[in-house]
């Protein structure tokens, strides 16, 4: 039984010993890995590449269509022929051969500017995909910050629990020495042992959560979920953010606002494309043809060959299509109005989010300062209580309470530190300057 207890106490030290030698993953390195390897980001980049291909010259409609065709026919027949003078004859193996080939080019000279607006729409669709890619990367990076600092916070909890274990071990050893020399009781030793066991159990549970959170971070990074690393628990804050500057930047740089503006622009192009369908279309064509046929003796001509260039010009004008295109124009205009309303709504929502986020940011700053004072007070209180406990001036219960207070203060400070950083990141994202 005693051997098992010692193993429990040493378990925390044994588990974390290999972690010290692991590579340190800093937040800036994690961001770089995420942008390069995150699965969703890679898919988003591929979607942008697809849109970039679709806006290329080959898809604009300005190039001619060129086609080549050719054919051969062969017939072997028996023909009964009656001539004008009344005589008739029968021809066996009346062979007919014909050959043809052509090279044709077709080009749309004018299509009512529909081609021009379609090309412009493809360009703006590409811009839309780039904005969506930026939004995806921003959301992924914010998620990365949250996950990264959850791992860091959990690591600090495990580190604080290791300190608890060390203090509880020291308390247990003191209780054993006092009992040995008749200055303590068996109950003091048992209580110290229970507290040490509880600290070890808490560490085991916290370390399990730490490992799970590290796997979640690896998944977000787009790499092997069991890849080992150590986490950086330090936090670097930006200079105090100004509410008015954040709001001003958000109105022009926020990715959601830009996305809504882009949708309004696409609606305008959709209206122009539908209006262009009312105009006439002019098409031109040119071809080079060759035909040759070899006929049986019953034909007027035994051999016939023709070749040359053919040119053509055609005009088409859809004067009335049953009102379908007018319907599209009317619905496109309403769609544009809806997107303008969405844009205005999004801007008002953005203002609200900025004000709320800044309020949260200010509150988190206050909490961090308060928790900083708490941890200083708790450390002083614990050090004093520890000395008094050594001198026998306070009870084990008071020592344990001071130990718990210090543990909670350290955890609360760590949480306040990471909460403030996340609040800062949210403000930077709203302002559209996260990557700056």
| Confidence check: pLDDT of 83 > 90 | no
If one counts the domains in the chain, the total is: 1
Average pLDDT in the chain: 91
pLDDT at residue 77 in the model: 79
CATH number of the domain residue 397 falls in: 1.20.1600.10
| Confidence check: pLDDT of 121 > 80 | yes
* Structural domain that includes position 58: 2-69+112-281+320-431
pLDDT at residue 3 in the model: 39
pLDDT at residue 95 in the model: 83
Asked whether residue 99 is domain-assigned, the answer is: no
Asked whether residue 292 is domain-assigned, the answer is: no
Determine contact, residues 431/256, Cβ cutoff 8 Å.
no
Share of the chain above pLDDT 90, in %: 77
Asked whether residue 88 is domain-assigned, the answer is: no
pLDDT at residue 298 in the model: 67
pTM (2 d.p.): 0.84
Asked whether residue 307 is domain-assigned, the answer is: no
- Please identify which residue in the block is written with the tokens 């050090």: 383
- Measured CA distances, 401 to 195, 359, 409 (Å): 11, 34, 12
Asked whether residue 399 is domain-assigned, the answer is: yes
* pLDDT, average across residues 60-66: 93
Asked whether residue 86 is domain-assigned, the answer is: no
Residues 4-46 pLDDT 10s: 443 444 444 434 434 445 799 999 999 999 999 999 999 999 9
* pLDDT, average across residues 148-176: 95
What is the band of 96 on the pLDDT scale with cuts at 50, 70, 90?
confident
Distance CA 302, CA 294 (A): 6
CA triplet 377, 382, 387: central angle to 5 degrees? 130
Asked whether residue 28 is domain-assigned, the answer is: yes
Q: Are strands 230-231 and 24-25 parallel, antiparallel or unpaired?
A: parallel
Asked whether residue 186 is domain-assigned, the answer is: yes
Distance CA 253, CA 261 (A): 11
Residues 211-258 pLDDT 10s: 999 999 999 999 999 999 999 999 999 988 999 999 999 999 999 999
265, two tokens: 């622009």
């Amino acid at each position: 039984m005693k051997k098992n207890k010692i193993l429990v106490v040493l378990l925390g030290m044994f588990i974390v010993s290999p972690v010290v030698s692991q590579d340190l993953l800093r937040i800036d390195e994690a961001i770089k890995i995420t942008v390069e390897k995150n699965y969703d980001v890679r898919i988003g980049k591929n979607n942008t590449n697809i849109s970039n291909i679709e806006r290329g010259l080959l898809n604009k409609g300005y190039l001619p269509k060129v086609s080549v065709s050719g054919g051969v026919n062969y017939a072997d027949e028996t023909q009964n022929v009656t001539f004008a003078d009344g005589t008739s004859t029968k021809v066996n193996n009346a062979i007919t051969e014909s050959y043809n080939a052509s090279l044709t080019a077709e080009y749309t000279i004018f299509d009512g500017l529909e081609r021009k607006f379609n090309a412009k729409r493809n360009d703006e669709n590409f811009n839309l995909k780039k904005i969506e890619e930026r939004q995806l990367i921003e959301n992924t990076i914010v998620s990365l910050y949250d996950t990264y600092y959850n791992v860091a916070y959990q690591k600090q909890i495990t580190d604080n629990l290791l300190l608890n274990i060390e203090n509880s071990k020291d308390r247990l050893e003191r209780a054993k020495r006092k009992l040995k020399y008749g200055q303590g009781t068996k109950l003091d030793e048992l209580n110290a042992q229970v507290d040490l066991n509880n600290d070890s159990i808490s560490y085991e549970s916290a370390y399990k959560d730490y490992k799970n959170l590290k796997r979640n971070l690896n998944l977000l990074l787009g790499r092997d979920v069991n890849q080992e690393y150590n986490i950086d628990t330090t936090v670097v804050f930006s200079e105090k953010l100004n509410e008015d500057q954040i709001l001003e930047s958000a109105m022009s740089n926020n990715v959601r606002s830009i996305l809504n503006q882009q949708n309004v622009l696409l609606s305008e192009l959709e209206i122009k494309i539908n209006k262009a369908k009312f105009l006439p279309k002019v098409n031109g064509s040119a071809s080079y043809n060759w035909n040759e046929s070899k006929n049986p003796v019953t034909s007027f001509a035994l051999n016939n060959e023709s070749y040359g260039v053919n040119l053509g010009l055609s005009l088409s004008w859809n004067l009335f299509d049953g009102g379908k295109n007018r319907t599209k124009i009317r619905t496109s205009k309403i769609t544009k109005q809806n997107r303008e309303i969405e844009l205005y709504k999004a801007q008002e929502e953005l203002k609200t989010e900025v004000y709320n986020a800044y309020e949260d940011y200010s509150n988190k700053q206050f909490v961090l300062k308060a928790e900083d004072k708490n941890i200083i007070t708790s450390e002083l209180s614990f050090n004093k209580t520890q000395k008094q406990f050594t001198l026998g001036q306070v009870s084990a219960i008071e020592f344990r309470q001071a130990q718990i207070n210090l543990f909670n203060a350290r955890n609360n400070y760590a949480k306040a530190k990471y909460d403030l950083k996340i609040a800062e990141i949210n403000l930077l994202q709203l302002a559209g300057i996260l990557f700056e």
